[in-house]
Structure 1
Amino acid sequence: MVRSPYPDVEIPDVSIHEFLFGDLDESRLDAIALVDGMSGATTTYRQLLGQIDLFAGALAARGVGVGTTVAVLCPNVPAFATVFHGILRAGATATTINSLYTAEEIANQLSDAGATWLVTVSPLLAGAQAAAERLGIDADHVIVLDGAEGHPSLPQLLGEGHGAPDVSFDPATHIAVLPYSSGTTGRPKGVMLTHRNLIANVSQCRSTISLADDDRVLAVLPFFHIYGMTVLLNFALRQRAALVTMPKFDLVEFLRVVQEHRTSWVFIAPPIAVALAKHPLIDQYDLSAIKVIFSGAAPLDGSLASAVANRLGCVVCQGYGMTETSPVTHAIPYDRPEIDRSSVGMLLANTEARLLAEDGTDVEIPPEGVSDPGELLIRGPQVMKGYLNRPDATAEMLDAEGWLHTGDVATATHEGVFRIVDRLKELIKYKGYQVAPAVLEAVLLEHPSIADAAVIGAPDEDGQEVPRAYVVVQPGAELDADAVMAHVAAHVAPHEKVRQVVFIDAIPKSASGKILRKDLRARA
């Protein structure tokens, strides 16, 4: 077993609202909390707190409170913070929905989560309304933030002037949020995260991620995803930084917002790192305000991290986590340049880990060098309460001793530095050898003519599994399959060679940046 090298931090027994805002200093009230990256409009901490209380009061006046689940279908706009924290302030549970979901997918989540209210915006209203009608949710329970006929709007609710209610619940057991797991390896499940889970993870991040109150943080990662929810909506606000919101990723807008608003911390997923390392547009913008780029949600290769750091003159860090761990369990500290950038760093405070070999025994951590790979198990206060209404799935994920089985394969050093090799189900078995797709993807991305790549196992003419690479070629570049295979072969062991190459316009990915291997397998 490996324990965090950091001393344990205290986890207060309060609500997430009290934890985030209860000790907000008077001197910070008029500091900027949120900036609309599109319009430049600002919201101070004083204004945000007032809006949260008023929204919570309006919900409470309509009977929303402990026991109510409110769904949020909304892109990253400043009002999201008001709505999200207003729901939690009222004692209700928030379930956040992917903005790209179809009406059917929205309805499925609403039904599974037991949501009786839905908050959205007019551009997403068609799908939201269709889903609500399917489930019998009345129009007056569908709040459209920017207004739509027949629905309550945010200005209307705030204008009613209801104060925040007095609510009582146990922070250790009360479900604050119900995000849904990505579904890349099965049907999405509601992840029950308590107020204590969220508070624990923010407290743990504070000892490792050195975000300060004079930082401006780019919020392009979706708030509906646990990464954006915890690290941006919760952690960044707890650190009293300013959040600069973007409703979706567009490279030109991303670069404009970073340049115009001088964002110092940029939290990303690896696909954005690929663009920052390789796209010619980067050189046309002043990105000198960036101090730290922090990547998560999928593995970031060390050479790609170095390419971004060298091009932008900033520090690039990486972390690891899961929806089921609120999400952060590992991070590379900002002030530890000697740590391998292809690693996910060290365990956060209050966190323990084990590596399990295929035979179920613990992998030994050697006194020098790197351990053998094993499935990563996590235990700590950030680990979920369980899956909503899925005791079977919960039992598969969480054992009797509180260890969460991540399904990810990792290695560790005696210094406590972890590296994710791949997911158990994604490992390719080539003639009995294990081949990790992430390793091959990192090699592929080193080729100057390759803009993006993904690797899966696919059958050959004999029906045996071989590594197949899906490759996106840089605009204007010429590349053939033989050149791709030769490039990989020059950098890996013989059993790891790419045996098939398919050229593709874009690699399918989730909103959080994970490669959708199931979509690629469907094409195989």
Structure 2
Amino acid sequence: MVFRSPYPDVELPDVPLHELLFSDLGERADRVALVDGRTGASLTYGRLAGAVDRLAAALAERGVGKGDVVGILSPNTPYYAVAFHGILRAGATATTVNALYTADEIADQLSDAGAKMLFTVSALLPTAAPGAAGAGVTDVVVLDRADGYPDLAGLLGSTGPVPEVAIDPAEDVAVLPYSSGTTGRAKGVMLTHRNLVANIVQCAPLLEIGPDTRILAVLPFFHIYGMQVLMNNGLRVGATVVTMPRFDLPEFLRVMQDHRTDRVYIAPPLAVALAKHPLVDQYDLSGVRTVFSGAAPLDVDLAAAVARRLGCRVSQGYGMTEMSPVSHAIPDGRDDIPVGTVGVIAPNVECRFVDPATGEDVGVGERGELWCRGPNVMKGYLNNPDATAATLDAEGWLRTGDVAVIDDRGLVTIVDRVKELIKYKGYQVPPAELEALLLTHPGIADAAVVGVRDEEGEEVPKAFVVGQPGGSLDAEAVMAFVAERVAPHKKVRVVEFIDAIPKSAAGKILRKDLRAREAR
């Protein structure tokens, strides 16, 4: 059974991404496009578009063009957008690298992507330089300044012509982000210009953003969520995007206060801080109208706590890198939709819910793996036909690996990951359900649950818990708290206290890292 959006399909412009964003600036030219939240330095839309053209010209002079791949290894700054869109404007492909990567991880991605050049910042040169060298990349450019390295300012001084590149939006790969690798080795996700353009247009009916919107961009642009939902969606409508290079709670709150950001995009770990940390009360956050969560399921009680504390609306959406990324969202203004769901299917997207055991479609109210099809779905994984075939079928259906259910209103709820379900004595135990419950305990700052083997070889739920500072919580109290609130087969049977839950830059729990602790 195929389910579709309650919204009509939207018309998809047949243009490259840079044309969608910059071809007709009009009155946007003098508006502020990007602001550095730390320093206040800004770029207007006119200056941004001009810098993109100049960088494209400079790249062409350096021999970069269609078919080439250029890496970006940088925290969020206004000049990230210049590098990103300059690469695409030159007809090349941008591969965005996690700013927290080690030199070896950088080398692996640049090698796998076939990159011939790298943009970075001086602070990251201790890992960027050996990483680039390990991949045979000799052309390294810094976005700021560093002795011995060419810099962005120098490239923007190019007087060469802007290259005229024939781009096929449906076929030419615009970006090559790498999937999080939480279930295996990271893979290059080939997203075409059409994929990115489509998802921006698909989001328009769902997200009420415009020229007066001020978006806080603390989620990294190297991840598809930050890249598309924050940066590119904001630039499409003439909003102001306020950048932060990394998450630091006092600075996060200061930027929200001083820049009066009214739309704040987060992942669930940031919701925990907003709901529970005493520092929040020291800042004027009255400018915030919407907090939008993605990247992992947001618990309804946690969302309600954030909404009460900030006096704002809290909603969430769903997607993945392979879908550019949004396939579902709670539309702005739809206060009738509970935050426990991920909202409705986006325009132009089709969904199925497939029983993982039988491969048969299930209907309303029944759990199944979520499969999606639409113009935002990736072209495939780079140089990995086996992984592509395992994820995309011949009819274009993408297997998300997430278990979900749709109700009679067309609202979708993500239940858990197919591969993360714990099997206890034949019963399925969803880790996300236990994690949401644990976070309601006032003595718990963060938590994650994985399946481990007990002495009899049975898989049992184990909770990794981060206690609140100064607390005296013990393992027995945690297990008792859960046992009082769940069916017997869902009880947490092992507890380990740790300093922090390992998570990807997008906020997803790195369960493989937690399982690795067990293997030591």
Q: TM-score, normalised by structure 1?
A: 0.97
- Does residue 401 (structure 1) correspond to residue 401 (structure 2)? The answer is no
Residue 6 of structure 1 aligns to a residue whose secondary structure is coil
Q: Which residue of 1 aligns with 2:54?
A: 54
What's the CA shift string for 1:428-485, capped at 9, x where partnerless? Answer: 0011000000000011000111100000001112111111111111112221112111
What's the CA shift string for 1:301-354, capped at 9, x where partnerless? Answer: 111011100111100010000100001000011211121211111110000100
Indicate if the aligned counterparts of 2:104 and 2:134 stay in contact, CA closer than 8 A.
Answer: no
CA distance in 2, matches of 1:127, 1:494: 48
Indicate if the aligned counterparts of 2:55 and 2:158 stay in contact, CA closer than 8 A.
Answer: no
Q: Which residue of 1 aligns with 2:237?
A: 239
Following superposition of structure 1 onto structure 2, how do residues 379-394 of structure 1 map, counting pairs within 5 Å?
A: 379-394=373-388
Q: Which residue of 2 aligns with 1:445?
A: 439
Q: Which residue of 2 aligns with 1:9?
A: 10
Q: Which residue of 1 aligns with 2:133?
A: 133
**Which AA in structure 1 matches 2:303?**
A
Indicate if the aligned counterparts of 2:115 and 2:137 stay in contact, CA closer than 8 A.
Answer: no
CA distance in 2, matches of 1:90, 1:120: 18
Indicate if the aligned counterparts of 2:352 and 2:371 stay in contact, CA closer than 8 A.
Answer: yes
Residue 422 of structure 1 aligns to a residue whose secondary structure is strand
After the TM superposition, which segments of 4 or more aligned residues of structure 1 sit over 4 Å from their partners?
none
Q: 1:173 aligns with which of 168, 171, 174?
A: 171
Q: Which residue of 2 aligns with 1:368?
A: none
Residue 392 of structure 1 aligns to a residue whose secondary structure is helix
Q: CA deviation at 1:414?
A: 1.4
Q: CA deviation at 1:63?
A: 1.4
Q: Which residue of 1 aligns with 2:209?
A: 211
**Which AA in structure 2 matches 1:336?**
R
Q: Which residue of 2 aligns with 1:111?
A: 111
- In the alignment, structure 1 segments of 5+ residues that lack a partner are 366-370
**Which AA in structure 2 matches 1:9?**
V
Q: CA deviation at 1:23?
A: 2.4
Q: 2:421 aligns with which of 427, 431, 448?
A: 427
What's the CA shift string for 1:5-45, capped at 9, x where partnerless? Answer: 110001111110001122222x2211110110010111111
Following superposition of structure 1 onto structure 2, how do residues 33-432 of structure 1 map, counting pairs within 5 Å?
A: 33-138=33-138, 141-357=139-355, 358-365=357-364, 371-432=365-426
CA distance in 1, matches of 2:392, 2:416: 20
Q: CA deviation at 1:494?
A: 1.5
What's the CA shift string for 1:211-251, capped at 9, x where partnerless? Answer: 12101100000000000011122111101100000000000
Residue 219 of structure 2 aligns to a residue whose secondary structure is coil
Indicate if the aligned counterparts of 2:69 and 2:115 stay in contact, CA closer than 8 A.
Answer: yes
CA distance in 1, matches of 2:33, 2:161: 21
What's the CA shift string for 1:94-148, capped at 9, x where partnerless? Answer: 000000001100000011000001111111112111122223322xx11112122
Q: 1:519 aligns with which of 496, 499, 513?
A: 513
**Which AA in structure 1 matches 2:502?**
P
Q: Give the aligned length.
A: 516
Of all paired residues, the percent bearing the same amino acid is 65
Q: 2:463 aligns with which of 449, 465, 469?
A: 469
- In the alignment, structure 2 segments of 5+ residues that lack a partner are none
Q: CA deviation at 1:174?
A: 0.3
**Which AA in structure 2 matches 1:74?**
S
- Does residue 23 (structure 1) correspond to residue 24 (structure 2)? The answer is yes
Residue 91 of structure 1 aligns to a residue whose secondary structure is coil
**Which AA in structure 2 matches 1:432?**
G
Residue 419 of structure 2 aligns to a residue whose secondary structure is helix
CA distance in 2, matches of 1:164, 1:475: 55
**Which AA in structure 2 matches 1:166?**
E
Q: CA deviation at 1:160?
A: 2.3
Q: TM-score, normalised by structure 2?
A: 0.98
